[in-house]
Amino acid sequence: MQTEFLIIGQGISGTWLSYFIQKANKSFIVIDNDQPNSASRVAAGIINPVTGRRIVKTWIIDELLSFLIPAYEELGSELNIRTIEKKSLIDFHPTPQMKIAFDERVKENADLLFHPQDQGQYQNIFNYDFGFGEVDLCYVVNLKEILPVWRNKILSNNQFLEENFDITELKHVDGEINYKNIKAEKIIFCDGIHSSLNPFFKNLPFALNKGEALLIEAPGIPSTHIFKKGMMLTSIQKDLFWLGSNYLWEFPNDQPTEQFRKQTELFLRSWLKVPFKIVDHKASVRPANIERRPFVGFHPTYKNIGILNGMGTKGCSLAPFFAKQITDHLIYGDQILPEANVSRFSKILMR
């Protein structure tokens, strides 16, 4: 089997990369092992333009948003599904200090942040003592549909193999990639946390980070907004909500823990005034890294071996943008943003 690009992994990164390669009329094959708790299959899909206790805008968010909204909409028309939904975020201030911090930021980011007049409007649904602010320009990406629908599309075009990629079978000779019966010009790893074990990219400064989430049924909560009080709560289908998450840098395995479930259930009992039922509990590991910037581009020595990874907590906003950059780099020789290009780690990759 001959192809131009061999893509390993079909999370949100591999999905967008294969989409843009298809749009450029190039051939590709995606290999994915359908790991049920991969980061993209556990994530909520929230895009939040602000972050942290200081409520600052996230890295290059204006540029990302102006690119990714039309990109998701175009993908949605091609797949005939709703891929992205705009929802503002109701940020319940957990302490009076956080309310003051929010007020300060409202002055600087009036386009994004505001304090709604009616501060009592959620008092029949949530307990909150210090009011709430609202963050505009938040979105929820429909990962639950995008991943399987894209997968079925490329499967029916014979561009997808459901199997485990075994790196010991990879041979690269004279600028050609050989994997089992596949010959490709280039291979690009979009395999999430598994790249941290990959002999070509394991020296990149991955800082893997585990997160857990509960799925709850709660018909009394409106699906119109994302709600936040330390954790995020967002609707994923009628009456079903995703609640998460935590961030653990040390963990024995990638499985859900009793501790998270108990703590989060207690938290829900104190936050929600409406009945709820926990229906599922998930955990995954984020392909995060020390710098909080993605890993995009090609190995300095093996120039036909590339990576699109390191999306951390922001795969839904970073993956489409950088999948397009790496595609334009491959087809037109365009530059990859230096802060994201793996060439910044050339020295350690050549060790």
Ligand X SMILES: Cc1cc2nc3c(=O)[nH]c(=O)nc-3n(C[C@H](O)[C@H](O)[C@H](O)COP(=O)(O)OP(=O)(O)OC[C@H]3O[C@@H](n4cnc5c(N)ncnc54)[C@H](O)[C@@H]3O)c2cc1C
Question: How far, in Å, CA of 8 to CA of 32, rounded?
Answer: 6
Cα four-point dihedral sign 341, 180, 11, 80: positive
Residue 205 beta carbon to ligand X: minimum distance, rounded to whole angstroms = 16
CA distances for 304 relative to 8, 174, 186, 189, 298, angstroms: 14, 10, 5, 11, 7
Q: How far is the CB of 284 from ligand X (least distance, A)?
A: 4
Encoded amino acid at 146, one letter = I
Nearest to ligand X of 248, 331 (CB atom):
248
When the beta carbons of 12 and 218 are compared against ligand X, the nearer one is 12
Q: Which is nearer to ligand X, 92 or 309 (CB)?
A: 309
Output the smallest distance, CB 285 to ligand X, in A: 6
CB of 211: closest distance to ligand X in angstroms? 3
Residues in touch with ligand X (CB under 6 A):
8-14, 31-35, 38-40, 42-46, 164-165, 190-192, 194, 211, 213, 244-245, 284, 286-287, 309, 311-317
CB closer to ligand X, 142 vs 349: 142
Nearer to ligand X, 37 or 121 (CB): 37
- CB-nearer residue toward ligand X: 99 or 311: 311
Neighbours of 63 (CB within 10 A): 11
Q: How far apart are CA 303 and CA 335, in angstroms?
A: 15
CA distance 23 to 27: 10
Residue with tokens 């333009």: 49
Q: How far is the CB of 100 from ligand X (least distance, A)?
A: 27
Comparing CB distances to ligand X, the nearer of 99 and 314 is: 314
Residue 244 C-beta: closest distance to ligand X, Å: 5
Cβ atoms of 114 and 102 within 8 Å: the answer is no
Helices (H), 85-216: 96-108, 143-156
Q: Which residues, 6 or more positions from 262, have their beta carbon under 8 angstroms from its beta carbon?
A: none
In 3D, which of 306, 289, 302, 318 has the Cα closest to residue 342? 306
* CB of residue 345 to ligand X, shortest distance in Å: 17
- Distance separating alpha carbons of residues 327 and 249, to the nearest angstrom: 32
Angle between the 143-156 and 61-79 helix axes, to the nearest 10 degrees?
50
Q: How far is the CB of 110 from ligand X (least distance, A)?
A: 25
